[in-house]
């Protein structure tokens, strides 16, 4: 659920505020985490306001044949190859990783600014589907545009937030790059309510990205939790990482106030005629013509020469 942190303050209308003694009057902004917990206790189909009425909601099912192929430029992951200390938190609705140290950025891919990494978190099963197929896990790298100063401010602007999503598919063997995070997850999985623990070893964000980052899908969407602000530029990397079923089961056994968190994905939303870009490095319309159209015309030309040679004989 991208964009949800302790310092993100946002009033979400439509929630029964009387359910919590911590909530104040409707005219006052509330701590988003309190509202979030109230809303997430209900079915996504009952989430209020923009979650129901929005036209740029996320996640979506990406139909690969209906994407617009284009070269948007490579994503540039700045300081992703550094090692960082980090905190793993059982928020009661997901497992979130917060890194400490110098800022981590992403840029490129048609982004007009530099975006600062705020946090990472998991969804199991995956939220985005590809041609109707839902993968085992989805990892979100949540960034905000540095010109807005923080995630809370950025959530009020279209494209103020950038989320890079990595899909994981089931494999026979464990993914060793996840050991550090999942070991910490096991430490907090039995603590009902919000709980945190420091990871025993530093984490290198680049190791949580696929090696091939030359292709991705991009579209304009929203947060996938209440209040579903339509402020997100989404990048879904096309190459998937492996994860074993036993590793996913660690996440499925995370305890919450409402029992075990078997899954925490929002169902896919209506695309509403949005353009879904498929970035392919070096892709151009000229290249397509040379590869697909020109050979066809060459075939026609040779065919005519063979069948109607007299057309090319001059007296």
Q: Which of 13, 52, 46, 48 is nearest to 30 (CA)?
A: 13
Cβ atoms 202, 177 nearer than 8 A = no
Tokens of 286: 């000229």
3-state class of 197 per DSSP?
Answer: strand
Distance of alpha carbon 230 from alpha carbon 140, whole angstroms: 16
Q: Which of 17, 37, 93, 279 is catalytic?
A: 93
Dig out the tokens for 17 from the structure. Answer: 């505020």
Which residues on neighbouring strands pair with residue 97, listed in sequence order? 88, 120
The CB density around residue 101, as the number of other CB atoms within 10 Å, is 12
Could you confirm whether 17 is annotated as catalytic? no
SS3 content of the chain, % helix, strand, coil (to 5): 25, 30, 45
Q: How far apart are CA 273 and CA 56, in angstroms?
A: 9
CA-based nearest residue to 196, from 100, 94, 88: 88
C-alpha 261/C-alpha 33 separation (Å) is 17
Catalytic residues: 93
């Amino acid at each position: 659920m991208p964009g949800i942190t302790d310092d993100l303050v946002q009033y979400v209308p439509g929630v029964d505020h009387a359910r919590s003694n911590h909530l104040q009057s409707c005219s006052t902004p509330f701590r988003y985490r309190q509202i979030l917990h109230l809303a997430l206790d209900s079915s996504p189909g009952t989430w209020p306001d923009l979650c129901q009425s929005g036209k740029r909601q996320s996640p979506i099912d990406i139909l690969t044949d209906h994407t617009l192929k284009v070269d948007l430029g490579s994503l540039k992951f700045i300081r992703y190859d550094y090692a960082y200390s980090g905190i793993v938190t059982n928020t009661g609705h997901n497992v979130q990783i917060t890194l400490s140290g110098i800022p981590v950025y992403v840029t490129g891919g048609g982004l007009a600014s530099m975006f600062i990494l705020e946090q990472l978190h998991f969804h199991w099963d995956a939220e985005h589907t590809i041609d109707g197929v839902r993968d085992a896990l989805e990892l979100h790298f949540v960034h905000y545009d540095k010109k807005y100063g923080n995630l809370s401010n950025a959530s009020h602007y279209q494209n103020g937030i950038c989320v890079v999503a990595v899909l994981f598919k089931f494999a026979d063997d464990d993914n060793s790059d996840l050991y550090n995070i999942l070991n910490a997850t096991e430490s907090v999985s039995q603590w009902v309510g919000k709980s945190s623990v420091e990871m025993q070893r530093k984490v290198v964000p680049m190791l949580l990205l696929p090696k091939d980052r030359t292709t991705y899908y991009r579209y304009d969407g929203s947060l996938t939790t209440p209040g579903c602000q339509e402020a997100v530029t989404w990048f879904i990397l096309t190459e998937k990482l492996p994860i074993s079923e036993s590793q996913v089961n660690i996440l499925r056994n995370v305890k919450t106030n409402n029992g075990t968190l078997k899954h925490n994905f929002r169902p896919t939303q209506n695309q509403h005629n949005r353009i879904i870009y498929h970035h392919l490095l070096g892709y151009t319309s000229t290249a397509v013509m040379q590869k697909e159209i020109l050979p066809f015309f060459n075939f026609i030309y040779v065919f005519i020469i063979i069948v109607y040679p007299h057309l090319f004989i001059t007296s």
